[in-house]
Amino acid sequence: MRAHRVHCAACSAFFSEQATFEAELRRGLEVPVPTECADRLVASVGAAERRPPARHADQRRLLIAAAGVAAATAGLSAYMWLTRNDALAMACIDFTMKDEAKSIMMGAMPRAEAARVLADLLPIERLERIGQIKHIAPCPFNGGTAYHVVLVVPQDKVTLLVMPDAGVSARKRAAHEGLYARVIPLRSGSVGIVGTNIDVVESIAGALQGERDHA
């Protein structure tokens, strides 16, 4: 389906329309969770453990209650992770969902030119040690210009957005509609990495970050 959308403008437009609707629906249903809620749940477990020994029936009820609190705390942590989406990482996901096919159809830049413009940002040689480059081209992104790279690795296809003017001090992340994004700092600017496999995204982010630190 993803491969078909790259070459079919009608299906790509329909998918973008539906994805936008789903995103608006999700935002409309999200309810902010108080940050102190998890602390109160954990505190209630600690208070229960400090109570005097109870009768067998009371102990059973206490264990059930503690198990429920633990499950609620774990669920709360997962919910908070899913909703803690960074704006720049989300913009990378939005580009992949809505504008990647258009960027590919506009054509790629020659390899020599791409190597020249990316030399001080993210050299092509570093990317080719990770996977096969299928597309590189400049594109409008997030109010500026980024370099759109399609990189194929054995496990998946990933989208890279090399952003010369968007510096970040630490990794950013987002997850939406089955896509995962990480934004990591480069020596100059940053790069967003988007894919359907979170392990692949994390692996590429780690490899690029490690090479940057080593350099």
Tens digit of each residue's pLDDT (9 = 90 or more) over 34-62? 666 667 766 776 666 556 655 555 555 65
Helices (H), the chain: 2-7, 9-29, 37-49, 56-83, 87-98, 100-105, 111-118, 124-128, 198-214
pLDDT at residue 188 in the model: 86
**Looking at domain 87-214, which of 3.40.1000, 3.30.450, 1.20.1250, 3.40.50 is its CATH number?**
3.40.1000
For the chain, report the end-to-end CA distance as a whole number of angstroms. Answer: 39
Tens digit of each residue's pLDDT (9 = 90 or more) over 128-168? 999 999 999 999 999 999 999 999 998 889 999 999 998 88
Is the pTM higher than 0.75? no
Between 48 and 184, whose confidence is greater? Answer: 184
Average pLDDT over the chain reads 80
pLDDT at residue 77 in the model: 45
Tens digit of each residue's pLDDT (9 = 90 or more) over 81-135? 445 789 999 999 999 999 999 999 999 999 999 999 999 889 999 999 999 999 9
Domain limits of the chain?
37-83, 87-214
* Six-digit token string for 146: 């980024």
pLDDT at residue 80 in the model: 45
Please say whether the beta carbons of 195 and 42 come within 8 A: no
